[in-house]
Amino acid sequence: MKPFKVAVLGCGTVGGGVARIMLERKEALALSAGRPVELAALVDLFPVRSAARHGLPIGLFGGESDLSGAQAAARTDAILADPEIDLVVETMGGTSDYVRGVCERVLAAGKHLATANKALLAERGDELFAAADKAGKALGFEAAVCGAIPVIRVVKEGFAGDEVLSISGIMNGTSNYILSKMTAEGIGFDEALKLAQEKGYAEADPTLDVGGGDAGHKLSILVRLAFGLAGANRTLAVSGVSDVTKADLRVAAEMDCAIKLICHAQRSGDIVYASVGPMMVKRSNFLSRIDGATNAVRAMNRYSGEHILVGKGAGSLETGSAIVADIVSIARYGERIVNPAARPGPQLRNMDELPFPYTVLFDTADVPGITGLVTTAIGDQGINIDTVGHNMHSGEAAVFAVETMPCTRSSILKAIAVIRAHRADIFRAEPKIFPVLY
């Protein structure tokens, strides 16, 4: 049978992992695909360095000389024009016009595409899926969400006979590592971030991770897959973990919770509520016990109930294995693979509009009657209170938490405004509002 030939554009961390797995498991991949699967070409600006780093034959790079941008583009053009290449793996990363254009040209050239580029799929996925459909080719993107965890395949294929009601998960290992360190060692955010950078879990500029943007890209892709929502990334509400303090974590522990950066989406009728941000996760919820750089996804389905997937969300071989899984699937099924389509009907709304339980952390002056003032103002907004935490006195300060039954965030904000109108002088800091995930 004719070999299925693959070219990889970009031989960094992920691209190198793809190439290494393809070479090491060549015979096994052929058995799984039902035909030989061959790595035919690699494109990278620094072939000698990349070959040495990943243990790859230099011949796959087409030469030993470092390439200029123009030379790399020319080699890419040659691959796109080669009728023998069946699939192209894009691991260059980023959302530049060049990268987007290369992906569109791959499909237009009649080749399948596999990518781990979550940002590109979140921001320009509509155009890429349309291009894949027009070309009649498959777009593999298993590695774009949670690395080695097969969440895309599970939602797309495993849940095909079911209806996803909600998805929640820890989808950014950097933020989870930082929060885990803060909780376990009682350190602050800055110190935990430094440890994450020393371990290689955080970039020199960690904004995309700690600001929630990376997790937002992943949730956007899952929202499209599970609920048929196109363009979700453009309206998804995202916040990060940089404002979480040691005091917040102590209060969370008292409320039998752990603070985690949670991606959450749930459908109610024709509305999908979704957001990314720090949540207080009850200890009864499995996600509260996911520590370190591990990722986890929890799906609740109409017929089959709860499903939990846990694994490594990043890494050269981990993410590379997910791309290779796409390669094998496409080699076996090719044009019969159906790309996920947006469906008419569902609308995306911010989680703030959905009645949800909340924990509100108050940091006030330690004055008599403060707890009563706060709880009365909350109750006057028609909000039922579930629990009032202990008042943690520290000098002239009082820190305590109020956990509510499901309500809207706007109702809580109204209650805070009433408190401020009566006693503006008592607030030492703006109250923090955390959704509670059971």
Q: What is the pLDDT of residue 32?
A: 97
Band (96; pLDDT cuts 50, 70, 90): very high
Q: What average pLDDT score do residues 75-86 get?
A: 98
**Sheet of strand 112-115, all strands in order from the earlier edge strand to the far edge:** 37-43, 4-9, 87-90, 112-115, 139-140
Rounded Cα distance, 359 and 355, in Å: 13
Whether residues 256 and 329 fall in one domain: no
Q: What average pLDDT score do residues 53-63 get?
A: 96
Whether residues 33 and 144 fall in one domain: yes
Mean pLDDT, rounded, of the chain? 95
Q: What average pLDDT score do residues 221-225 get?
A: 94
Range of the domain at 418: 355-437
Q: What is the pLDDT of residue 34?
A: 96
Displacement of CA 16 from its chain's centroid (Å): 22
Band (423; pLDDT cuts 50, 70, 90): confident
Q: What is the pLDDT of residue 159?
A: 97
Our count of domains for the chain comes to 3
Of 218, 260, 312, 432, which residue is the catalytic one? 218
Whether residues 127 and 178 fall in one domain: no
Structure tokens at 373: 């003032």
Examine the pLDDT at 46 and tell me if it is beyond 90. Answer: yes
Examine the pLDDT at 75 and tell me if it is beyond 90. Answer: yes
Examine the pLDDT at 106 and tell me if it is beyond 80. Answer: yes
Assign residue 143 the CATH number of its domain. 3.40.50.720
Q: What is the pLDDT of residue 154?
A: 97
Examine the pLDDT at 40 and tell me if it is beyond 80. Answer: yes
Whether residues 164 and 301 fall in one domain: yes
As a dihedral over the C-alpha atoms of residue 155, residue 158, residue 164, residue 169, rounded to 10 degrees, the angle is -50
Whether residues 364 and 326 fall in one domain: no
Percentage of the residues of the chain whose pLDDT score is greater than 90: 88
Whether residues 180 and 130 fall in one domain: no
Band (383; pLDDT cuts 50, 70, 90): very high
Backbone angles phi, psi at 369, to 5 degrees: 85, 5
Tens digits of residue pLDDT in 396-422: 888 899 999 999 999 999 999 999 998
Whether residues 13 and 43 fall in one domain: yes
The answer to whether residues 11 and 43 touch, using CB atoms and an 8 Å cutoff, is: yes
Band (99; pLDDT cuts 50, 70, 90): very high
CA distances from 85 to 7, 25, 82, 397 (A): 7, 19, 6, 67
Structure tokens at 389: 């935490």
Q: What average pLDDT score do residues 16-40 get?
A: 98
Examine the pLDDT at 163 and tell me if it is beyond 90. Answer: yes
Band (392; pLDDT cuts 50, 70, 90): confident
Q: What is the pLDDT of residue 345?
A: 72
Examine the pLDDT at 373 and tell me if it is beyond 80. Answer: yes
- Among this protein's residues, is 218 annotated catalytic? yes
Examine the pLDDT at 231 and tell me if it is beyond 90. Answer: no
Q: What is the pLDDT of residue 54?
A: 97
Whether residues 222 and 75 fall in one domain: no
CA distances from 83 to 78, 309, 335 (A): 10, 39, 16
Tens digits of residue pLDDT in 175-210: 999 999 999 999 999 999 999 999 999 999 999 999
pTM: 0.94
Examine the pLDDT at 64 and tell me if it is beyond 90. Answer: yes
Assign residue 402 the CATH number of its domain. 3.30.70.260
Whether residues 115 and 164 fall in one domain: no
CA distances from 373 to 10, 27, 376 (A): 60, 71, 5
Residue 187 β-bridge partners? none
Whether residues 8 and 107 fall in one domain: yes
Q: What is the pLDDT of residue 367?
A: 86
Whether residues 178 and 155 fall in one domain: yes
Examine the pLDDT at 393 and tell me if it is beyond 90. Answer: no
Q: What is the pLDDT of residue 397?
A: 83
Given 302, 336, 370, which residue is the final one in a domain?
Answer: 336
Percentage of the residues of the chain whose pLDDT score is greater than 70: 100
Q: What is the pLDDT of residue 232?
A: 76
Q: What is the pLDDT of residue 256?
A: 96
Whether residues 238 and 369 fall in one domain: no
Strands 112-115 and 139-140: parallel
Given 325, 352, 379, which residue is the final one in a domain?
Answer: 352
